Each structure stands twice: as structure tokens, then as C-alpha cells.
Amino acid sequence: MGTEQPSVAILGGGVGGLTAAHELAERGFDVTVYEANNRLGGKASSFRHEPSGGGRPLPAEHGFRYVPGFYRNLRDTLSRIPTPDGGSVADNLISTTETLVASVSGTETLKETRTPTTVREWMSAIKPASDELTVSEIAHFQRRLLVFLTSGRLRRERELEYVTLWEFLDADNRSKAYRQHLAEITQALVAMHPRRASTRAILQIHVQLALDQIDPDRPTEAVLNGPTSDVWIDPWVTQLRSLGVRFRTNARVTAIDSDGVSVTGVSIDGPDGPSSVTADYYVAAVPVEVMARLVTPALERAAPSLAGVGRLDTAWMNGIQFYLTEDVPLGHGHQVYVDSPWALTSISQRQFWETGPFDIESCGDGSVRGVLSVNISDWDEPGVVYGRPARECTPEEIRTEVWTQLTDHLNRDELRLADEALYDWVLDEAIVHSDGADRLTNAAPLLINTVGSRHDRPRAETAAPNLMLAADYVRTETDIASMESANEAARRAVRAVLRRSKWDGPVPRLWGLDEPQIFEPIKRQDDFAYRFGAPHPGELGEGFRSTVRSIGRGVNRE
């Protein structure tokens, strides 16, 4: 690269945009970030809620932050963001140790999330989350998981990509406990609906989460020790400014102009009115629903891979915060409410904020002692109070419905969540209820991996010589709507910019997904079989385990 710094316009200031800005600015590029909202961080950012009783604003989130161990690209970025005390943002990650699986009528289970070190902990880790599951159902699930683990890349991408997890697990013909604890459990933590999402997408993440727990060389899941913007986004923006990155907030991208070959400019609607922006390179890091509106015939000619963006689907996964006058820990990690029709999960935040810089007791009138952050993952199922799905309720009805579903689970045997402890609450500000409307609108939906959708997802590097993509809808190894996928996409986009600008220095490192090496020989055999149209041996009737053993012996003889 020559002495002149290439200019890069980054469209979107979420995790993908900020990651791209980080990697480029460290390499001396001239970077400007254009963000439509008045704050940076996208869905990962916090916002402030003015308490009904007055006082200092309370922290609120789009949904609680969750950093599994396999988020290695993101964790690397966090480790490179300095904090005022001389550490890094990675030091603000606190490992969880357990997950509470609560039920209205079934057994409540407290599952360890840390890596097992004793026989007792190993037995707890491999034990199913419900005593209601039969031995045959557990065996069936294990056989189906083994089919996935021994399927090669070709079968996963060309066959399992087109089969829903629900079908793959034969969930319709299994018990309620099987559906709740095995088929539906991933919906609680990621935006994946088992009746719509592909087997390939869901099970590869299921495997990663399992490896995070049992592999001592991998970190376990973690959460932040304070509100996201306070302990992550704000230090990040401070660092990027010190590297020379310029930020333009309240600057909405209205058009990506193209001559059919490359991007010729970007139209911005900012605080001072419309303007046009030009740069040497453009990194589009806007959400998928925004990008779909920006794809014109000319832009599609320049970047044909954008043709499928409009076919990608989204779903709602948004949060509600309850501020409590007493701390209710509820276990040192997530809570999963298996009988909640709205697929609720929560984290009681105070216990993780004790070592952080944020003092929740200084907010409101000083009586707040706890924050219960709840994610609503299913907005289409009728609730238990009003008999309507969440998207057809008012914010106040959502508050009542969610609180009722929580207390139905938590207060079954003892009073853990008392009505008197509720100080205030706030729904994700992306959920908007207009006067006279019978439905809510959502300004921040999440991409979902519907069957076959991977082939509509563009890669980070487009055919347009000056356009790259850095958002969670981009085709990545992570392949779920997540901070990790956005971070990985941004690293891939930056690599493309560096290559096209003739950069001769180091490029951003990339981490992919790992799976147990013991299955690699069998997966190679399956790739060979798939090319000749042979079914996976696990779909045959003579018994999969003996087939796996015979294949393994054959591989060992080669």
C-alpha cells in the first residue's frame, strides 16, 4: 500500500461496523462510520430508561448479552479494547456456573455450565435437563446427533440445510418433554426456530455449546459485569476515536449508488439534511432488513450476491427489564422457562455486576437492588393471561404477561419473585406501539436461519471492487444472528479491503468452528458417499452404531 491512506466509509455502527473500523484503523486507513441512531453499538448497545419515580436513569438492553466460549473472534476483539483501569474489556467477562431450567409442572433442574472436573460434575453435565425424558427418547436424540456429527460438509450444506430441526428430530411424534428439552431448547438462547431453521444451522451451534462446557481448553459461557455500553461499547468508541475513526450519528443511509460495476457514492440523511458521501471503499454493516431496501438493480448488477438478501427472513427476539427492590439471583447464569409459550429466558444481572464499575443502587431513587433481564423469543404464540401473541399486545400487557409466565415458573414451590419487589420495568425501545394500532412494530428484528437460506446469504467480499459486507446476515462459519457472526463477517470484509488495496501487512485473524476430531475420518467417508448418492448410514435400518464402528475400522486401515 502506498503512503496515501485509503478512505473507507462504514455504513452502520453496530458490532460489525465497529469491528471493521477497529481492524482498518489499526492499519492506518481513513475510516468514517455512519450510524442511523443517536448511539453506537447497534443491538448490543444499552439505552437509558427514565424511572417512573424519578431519579438517575436506569440501564436497559435490547436483550441480555451472552458470550459463549466459541465466540473466539469477538473475544479477541474484546481483549484488544483497553479500559480506564489498565485492563481490557475481556476482563469484564464473568463466567456463569449454572443454568436454571424451570418448569410449571415438571422437574426444576440446575445444570452446571462450567467445565466438569469431578465425576459428580461429569454426571451432571451429561444428564438430560429433565427426568421426564424416557431412555428411548434420549437414545433417539443421541442417534440423531450422531448422524449430524458424522455427516460431511456436502451432506450438511446440500441436504441438512433443507431439513428443519423439527423434522430431523421427529419432534411431532415425540413427547412434550422431548420437544421442550431437546427440540426447542436452542430457541431460548439464539434466534433459531426449530420448526423453521435448518438442522445444519442449529445443530452445529448445539455442538459448539456442548464443547464449551466439556473441553477444558475452551472458555465457558460468560456475561458482562455491567450494562453493555458502560463496560464495552463506550470504551470501544473511545479507543476508535484515539485511532482516528470519525463517527457520524443520526446519519441514515438512504441509498447506495452504483453504476452497475462499483459503488459510486452513498446518500446520507443526517442532522443537517441530505448529503452524498464518497470513499475509496465501502463496508455495508447495516441490518439485513435495511440492506434489502438498499439493493437496487444497478447495485445488484455490480454485486450479484446481493440478489438473495430480500429473501432472508427475520424474527423477533427482544428484551424486557424488571427493576427490583431486592436482589433475586435465581442461579449463577441463565434461567430457561420451558413451559412459557413466549420462550422466555432471563439473567439476574446484579450478581454479575458486583465487581464492575456500575452501581445500580445509584439509579432511580436509590431503592433498586436487582435487575432481571428477560428475552422474549416467541412473539407468535398466545400467552397465558390475554390469550394473544406478544406482537398483538400493548407494552403494558406484555409486562403483565411476561411477569405472570415468570412467576408461574419461579413461585411454584416457594415465593422467589414477589409482586411487591417490582420497582419499575421497560420494554426494548425497538418495540413501538402506535396509538390506534392493534399490532406492535419492531425496529430491530433478527435474522433467522430458515431452511435453505444459507444460499441466499452473500459473502463478505462482493463482486463490486469497492463494496464489502460486515453484518450478521453475511455467510460465515458462525452462521447465526449473533455478535460473533457480525465480528467474523467484519474481519472477512477487512481482509477483502486489504487485499484489494494491496496491503502488505498482517491481516485480521479468523477463527472457525471446531468439532471433535474423532469424527473427521467418518465425515470424509460421508462426503465420498454423498457424491455417489448414498444415504447417510445413520438413516439405514441396520443400526447406526455398528456402521460407525465398521467405517472407523476401514478408515484406520487406510
Question: Do both 303 and 323 map to the same domain?
Answer: no
Eight-state DSSP code of residue 540 = S
Looking at per-residue pLDDT, the higher value among 422 and 187 belongs to 422
Question: Do both 433 and 473 map to the same domain?
Answer: no
Q: How confident is the model at residue 546 (pLDDT cuts 50, 70, 90)?
A: very low
Q: Is the pLDDT of residue 479 over 90?
A: no
Q: Is the pLDDT of residue 382 over 70?
A: yes
- Tell me, yes or no, whether 185 lies in a domain: yes
Question: Do both 56 and 77 map to the same domain?
Answer: yes
The residues, ordered by sequence, that sit 6+ positions from 304 with a Cβ below 8 Å of its Cβ are 463
Q: Is the pLDDT of residue 558 over 70?
A: no
User: Of 186, 223, 180, nearest to 206 (Cα)?
Assistant: 186
User: 229 and 238 in contact (C-beta within 8 Å)?
Assistant: no
Q: How confident is the model at residue 418 (pLDDT cuts 50, 70, 90)?
A: very high
Residues 479 and 472: their CA atoms lie apart, in Å, by 8
Q: Is the pLDDT of residue 496 over 70?
A: yes
Q: How confident is the model at residue 552 (pLDDT cuts 50, 70, 90)?
A: very low
Q: Is the pLDDT of residue 126 over 80?
A: no
Question: Do both 397 and 459 map to the same domain?
Answer: no
Residue identified by cell 431486592 is 326
Q: For the beta carbon of residue 119, count every other beta carbon within 10 angstroms.
A: 8
Question: Do both 92 and 131 map to the same domain?
Answer: no
Q: How confident is the model at residue 111 (pLDDT cuts 50, 70, 90)?
A: confident
Into how many domains does the chain fold? 3
Looking at per-residue pLDDT, the higher value among 131 and 324 belongs to 324
Question: Do both 328 and 422 map to the same domain?
Answer: yes
CATH number at 459 reads 3.50.50.60
Question: Do both 437 and 333 map to the same domain?
Answer: yes
Residues 199 and 157: their CA atoms lie apart, in Å, by 10
Query: Which pLDDT score is estimated for 69?
Result: 94
Q: 500, 517, 532: which is the final residue of a domain?
A: 500
pLDDT in tens, 46-62: 999 999 888 999 999 99
Residue identified by cell 434420549 is 138
Q: How confident is the model at residue 128 (pLDDT cuts 50, 70, 90)?
A: low
Residue 238, CB-side half-sphere exposure with 13 Å CA sphere: 14
Cite the beta strand spans of 377-521 per DSSP E. 422-427, 431-432, 441-442, 446-448, 467-469
Question: Do both 57 and 88 map to the same domain?
Answer: yes
Residues 316 and 443: their CA atoms lie apart, in Å, by 10
Q: Is the pLDDT of residue 303 over 90?
A: yes
Could you give the angle at which helices 483-500 and 15-25 cross, rounded to 10 degrees?
Answer: 40
Residue identified by cell 450494562 is 227
Q: For the beta carbon of residue 143, count every other beta carbon within 10 angstroms.
A: 13
- Tell me, yes or no, whether 338 lies in a domain: yes
Residues 104 and 66: their CA atoms lie apart, in Å, by 25
> In the predicted model, what is the mean pLDDT of residues 353-362?
93
Q: How confident is the model at residue 1 (pLDDT cuts 50, 70, 90)?
A: very low
Q: Is the pLDDT of residue 179 over 90?
A: no
Question: Do both 160 and 196 map to the same domain?
Answer: yes
Query: Which pLDDT score is estimated for 107?
Result: 84
Round the average pLDDT of the chain to a whole number and report it. Answer: 90
User: 220 and 69 in contact (C-beta within 8 Å)?
Assistant: yes
> In the predicted model, what is the mean pLDDT of residues 269-298?
97
DSSP-derived secondary structure for 484-537: HHHHHHHHHHHHHHHHHTT--S-----------GGGHHHHHHHHHHHHTTPPPG
- Tell me, yes or no, whether 139 lies in a domain: yes
Domain residues for 429?
46-97+220-226+317-442
- Tell me, yes or no, whether 555 lies in a domain: no
- Tell me, yes or no, whether 52 lies in a domain: yes
> In the predicted model, what is the mean pLDDT of residues 134-148?
90
DSSP-derived secondary structure for 112-165: E-SPP-SHHHHHHHHS-S-TTS-HHHHHHHHHHHHHHHT--HHHHHHTGGGSBH
Query: Which pLDDT score is estimated for 513?
Result: 93
- Tell me, yes or no, whether 525 lies in a domain: no
What proportion of the chain, given as a percentage, has pLDDT over 70?
91
Looking at per-residue pLDDT, the higher value among 306 and 212 belongs to 306
Question: Do both 322 and 437 map to the same domain?
Answer: yes
Q: How confident is the model at residue 119 (pLDDT cuts 50, 70, 90)?
A: low
Question: Do both 361 and 438 map to the same domain?
Answer: yes
For the chain, the straight-line distance linking the first and the last C-alpha, in angstroms and rounded, comes to 48
pLDDT in tens, 10-33: 999 999 999 999 999 999 999 999
Eight-state DSSP code of residue 88 = B
Cite the beta strand spans of 212-350 per DSSP E. 222-224, 246-248, 252-258, 263-270, 273-277, 281-284, 313-315, 318-324, 334-337, 344-348
- Tell me, yes or no, whether 1 lies in a domain: no
- Tell me, yes or no, whether 553 lies in a domain: no
Q: Is the pLDDT of residue 3 over 90?
A: no
Q: Is the pLDDT of residue 474 over 50?
A: yes
Question: Do both 346 and 432 map to the same domain?
Answer: yes
